[in-house]
Chain A
Amino acid sequence: MTTRKLTMTALAAGFAVTLAACGAGTASHVVKGATPPSKAAASTTAVSPTATGGPGSPTTTPSNGLTQHTLDQVAAELGSLDTSLNAANSDLNNPQGDS
């Protein structure tokens, strides 16, 4: 009787230890695995709007090659052109003499 009790107690203890061990391992794995996916998700979220974007998301400065600076450069040359053309027109419309 005593032997049977001891055997049952030992089995129960072993089962309890096994369960505890399994529970602890599982819990540990979940905790460790939860962090990286959250980081990855955050990274994807940060890249998405600028790299690929999507409907409704802000555009990535679509006029990259047409900056205000570029337009200003063209405008400056056009201004210079206007001045030169005015001079040429004056030469032909009102020549400073017939020579």
Chain B
Amino acid sequence: MRRTITSRWAAGALAAGVVTGLVVTLPGVAFAAPSGTRTAGGGRTTAITTTTGVATAAALTTTSVVTSTTTGSGSGSGQPSRPTCTAAVFGQAQQRVEADLSARVTQLNSLLSAVDAATQLTAGDRQTLQDDISTTELPGIEALQPQVQQATTCAQLFKAAHAMVFNFRVFVVMTPQTHMTIVADTETFVEGQIVNLEPAIAQAIQNAQAHGKDVSGAQAAFTDLKNQVSAAQAATAGQAAQVLAQTPAGFPGNWPVFLSARTNLVNAHNDLHAAFTDAKQIRSDLQ
């Protein structure tokens, strides 16, 4: 999976150059089928599909590269499909970009709902995400929709598609940024919940001991609970801020930031589950 993702990004980087080149140097070039897609009579494409589900100029040009790199034929050794936009396929390409824009609007609304539903987001992080989604990304993508609808040339389509991908990075920046911030803040909240229980747990163990109960198991679990929560706090510290600092312009260079944050958040998640298991054992032992 890691190889596949890496390959995709490599392909994406290549595609970025391809698209830019097309936009800048070949304004007459537009969309066509990805590599391997046959054309029917009259040069009309029969289908426009991509393995990644991204129906953009970038994705269309990357399909063959992705395939070649993931099958081990060497990174960058595959030939981009070099889609062409002709009058015959213009309508099809236009519909494809419109669909991609629509998918992004749907995704951004979904992210906005996730933010609204995330009860443990800090006020600041919630505001940052809401601002990013509803005042930058969503209006930006929606502004492209009429441009694409009104486009009459392949160059206009490419320009809009390029902006859609490179300016907003809905799927590879905004989406993980939102979900990971929610994770980080939820973990911080749970850490606080468990830390707040510690004095009561200590008192309960003390009381049980005063009553002649064997508290050795509970005490050991309590020690582990405190260690687990401390580890979770260390893993979570600063993650939300780090993730929120990433921008669309920083992709793909900022992808390792997301991966690193994910590692820390998964570790904290595991620590908190272990702490919860300890808490359950303590309660059971003291009953």
Contact indicator A59/B211 (Cβ below 8 Å): yes
Identify which of residues 78-99 in chain A touch chain B, using a CB-to-CB cut-off of 8 Å.
Answer: 78, 80-82, 84-85, 87-89, 91-93, 95-99
Answer yes or no: A9 CB below 8 A from chain B CBs: no
Cβ of B140 under 8 Å from chain A: no
**With A81-B190, A84-B182 as contacts: A98 and B265 at CB distance below 8 Å:** no
Interface residues on chain A, size class = 35 or more
B240 to chain A, nearest CB (A): 12
Show the binding face of A for B, using Cβ within 8 Å: 53-60, 62-66, 68, 70-71, 73-75, 77-78, 80-82, 84-85, 87-89, 91-93, 95-99
A96 to chain B, nearest CB (A): 5
Which of the candidate stretches B35-43, B56-64, B84-92, B148-156 sits at the interface with the other chain?
A: B56-64
B5 touches A95 (CB 8 A): yes
Main secondary structure of the interface of B (DSSP, over half): helix
A-B contact count (CB 8 A): 158
Contact B203 A64 (CB under 8 A): yes
A80 and B210 within 8 A (CB): no
Q: Which of B58, B176, B279 contacts A74 (CB 8 A)?
A: B279
Answer whether A74 and B199 are a contact pair too, CB < 8 Å, given A59-B207, A99-B165: no
Report yes or no: A70 in contact with B197, Cβ–Cβ below 8 A.
Answer: yes
Q: Please list the 10 inter-chain residue pairs (A to B) with the smallest Cβ-Cβ separation, ordered nearest first.
A: A65-B200, A97-B54, A98-B12, A99-B165, A62-B208, A88-B179, A91-B176, A55-B212, A59-B211, A62-B207
Tell me the B179-215 residues at the A interface (CB within 8 Å): 179-180, 182-183, 186-187, 189-190, 193-194, 197, 199-201, 203-205, 207-208, 210-213
- Residues of B near any A CB (own CB < 8 A): 1, 5, 8-9, 11-12, 15, 50, 52-54, 56, 58-59, 62, 103, 107, 114, 118-120, 164-166, 168-172, 175-176, 179-180, 182-183, 186-187, 189-190, 193-194, 197, 199-201, 203-205, 207-208, 210-213, 258-259, 262, 265-266, 269, 272-273, 276, 279-280, 282-283, 286-287
